[in-house]
C-alpha cells in the first residue's frame, strides 16, 4: 500500500515538472537569444581584429597579449582589486550595519530609512556630477569646510594624484541601500522564536546578533558582496563623468578601456576586455559562494 502511494506521488511530481518546464521555457528562450548568443559572439570576436564594419579577421590571442602589455590595463586590474576589497568590506559592512539598526527600530528609524534611501534612487551619473561640485576646490563644500581650519588648503580632488582614486571611491562608498534592503529582508524573516529562546537562555543582544542573526543572514550578505564587487567591475559613469580615468591612469578601469577601444574602432580588443570582465564576475561569484556557503541551507 505504501509502495503504491509512493508511485502515485512520483507520478504527480513528474506531472508537475512538465508545467514547471513550460513556465521556464520563455526564460530559457530569452537567455539563449539575448544572452548566450551575444556571449559566444563576444568570446569569438575577442580573438579577432575587427573594426565593427568589416568581417572579423582571426588573430588568436593577440588582443589578450596586447592587453596585458598595456600599462593602463594593469593599473585597471590593480584598481579593481582595491575597489573590490573596499566594496566587500566597508561598503557592504556599512549596508549591513544600517540594516541591523533599522531592524531594531530605534527612535526615528523610519525617517532614517527614508533619508538613507533617497540618494540611492538618484542615478550614478547624477551623483557623479553632484560630487564633482562637492569636491571642487573653489566652490566645493568639502574644501571650504577644510579651509575653516587650514586656510591654505587647496586640492583638486578629481584631478590630483592620489586624491582622485579616493574621490571616485567616495561617490559610491556609503550608498549601499541594496545591501541594506537584502539583509533587512532576511532579518525580518528570522523566526521570533529563535530570538526569544536565546533571551530565555540568557544571551545578550550582541550574542544574539553574532551567533543567530549574522549566521542566518549569510546568504543575504554574500549576495550584497557579489552585487557590490561586480558593480565596481562594471563601474563607468562615476569615472567617465569625473576623472575619465585620470590623472594619468590613476582611476582607469576596464569599462573605460572598453569604451575607448570602441571609439577607436577596435571592437576585437574591446571584446577582449569584455571577456576579462565576464571571467572576473564568474570568479567572484564562485569565491563568494564558497566563502559564504550560499548553496547550503541556513536553517
Q: Longest Cα pair distance anywhere in the chain, in angstroms?
A: 90
pLDDT for the residue numbered 13:
56
**CA dist., res. 139 & res. 134, Å (int):** 8
Residue-level pLDDT, tens digit, the chain, 299 residues? 444 545 544 555 566 677 777 888 888 888 888 888 889 999 999 999 999 889 999 999 999 999 999 999 999 999 999 999 999 999 999 999 999 999 988 888 888 888 888 877 788 888 888 898 999 998 899 999 999 999 999 999 999 988 999 999 999 998 889 999 999 999 999 888 888 888 888 888 889 989 999 999 999 999 999 999 999 999 999 999 999 999 988 999 999 999 999 999 999 999 999 999 999 999 999 999 999 988 887 77
**CA dist., res. 88 & res. 90, Å (int):** 6
8 Å CB contact between 199 and 208: yes
Helix-then-strand count for the chain, H and E: 17, 2
For 67-93, letters b (16+ CB in 10 Å) and e give: beebebbebbbebbeebbebbbeebbb
pLDDT for the residue numbered 16:
66
State pTM to two decimals.
0.87
Angle between helices 254-263 and 267-291 (to 10 degrees): 160
What 3-state DSSP class applies to 242?
coil
Query: In the 8-state DSSP scheme, what is residue 156?
Result: -
- Which class does domain 69-291 fall in? mainly alpha
What 3-state DSSP class applies to 57?
strand
The domain locations on the chain are 69-291
Q: Is the dihedral of CA 16, 21, 22, 23 positive or negative?
A: positive
pLDDT for the residue numbered 9:
47
Q: How many CB atoms lie within 10 A of CB 110?
A: 10
Amino acid at each position: 500500500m505504501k509502495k503504491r502511494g509512493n508511485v502515485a506521488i512520483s507520478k504527480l511530481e513528474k506531472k508537475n515538472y512538465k508545467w514547471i518546464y513550460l513556465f521556464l521555457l520563455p526564460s530559457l528562450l530569452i537567455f539563449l537569444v539575448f544572452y548566450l548568443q551575444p556571449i559566444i559572439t563576444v568570446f569569438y570576436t575577442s580573438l579577432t581584429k575587427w573594426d565593427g564594419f568589416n568581417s572579423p579577421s582571426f588573430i588568436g590571442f593577440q588582443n589578450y597579449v596586447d592587453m596585458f602589455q598595456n600599462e593602463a590595463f594593469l593599473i585597471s586590474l590593480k584598481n579593481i582589486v582595491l575597489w573590490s576589497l573596499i566594496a566587500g568590506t566597508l561598503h557592504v559592512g556599512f549596508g549591513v550595519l544600517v540594516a541591523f539598526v533599522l531592524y531594531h527600530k530605534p527612535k526615528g528609524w523610519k525617517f532614517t530609512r527614508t533619508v538613507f534611501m533617497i540618494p540611492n534612487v538618484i542615478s550614478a551619473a547624477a551623483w557623479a556630477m553632484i560630487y564633482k561640485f562637492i569636491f571642487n576646490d573653489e566652490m566645493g563644500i568639502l574644501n571650504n569646510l577644510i579651509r575653516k581650519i587650514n586656510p591654505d588648503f587647496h586640492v583638486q580632488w578629481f584631478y590630483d594624484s592620489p586624491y582622485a582614486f579616493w574621490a571616485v571611491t567616495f561617490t559610491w562608498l556609503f550608498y549601499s541601500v541594496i545591501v541594506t534592503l537584502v539583509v533587512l529582508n532576511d532579518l525580518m524573516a528570522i523566526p521570533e522564536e529563535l530570538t526569544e529562546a536565546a533571551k530565555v537562555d540568557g544571551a545578550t543582544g550582541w550574542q544574539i546578533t553574532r551567533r543567530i542573526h549574522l549566521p542566518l543572514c549569510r546568504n543575504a550578505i554574500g549576495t550584497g558582496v557579489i552585487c557590490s564587487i561586480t558593480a565596481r567591475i562594471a563601474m563607468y559613469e562615476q569615472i567617465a563623468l569625473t576623472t575619465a580615468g585620470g590623472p594619468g591612469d590613476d582611476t582607469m578601469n576596464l569599462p573605460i578601456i572598453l569604451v575607448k577601444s570602441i571609439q577607436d574602432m577596435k571592437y576585437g580588443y574591446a571584446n577582449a576586455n569584455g571577456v576579462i570582465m565576464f571571467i572576473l564576475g564568474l570568479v567572484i561569484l564562485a569565491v563568494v559562494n564558497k566563502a559564504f556557503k550560499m548553496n547550503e541551507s541556513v536553517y
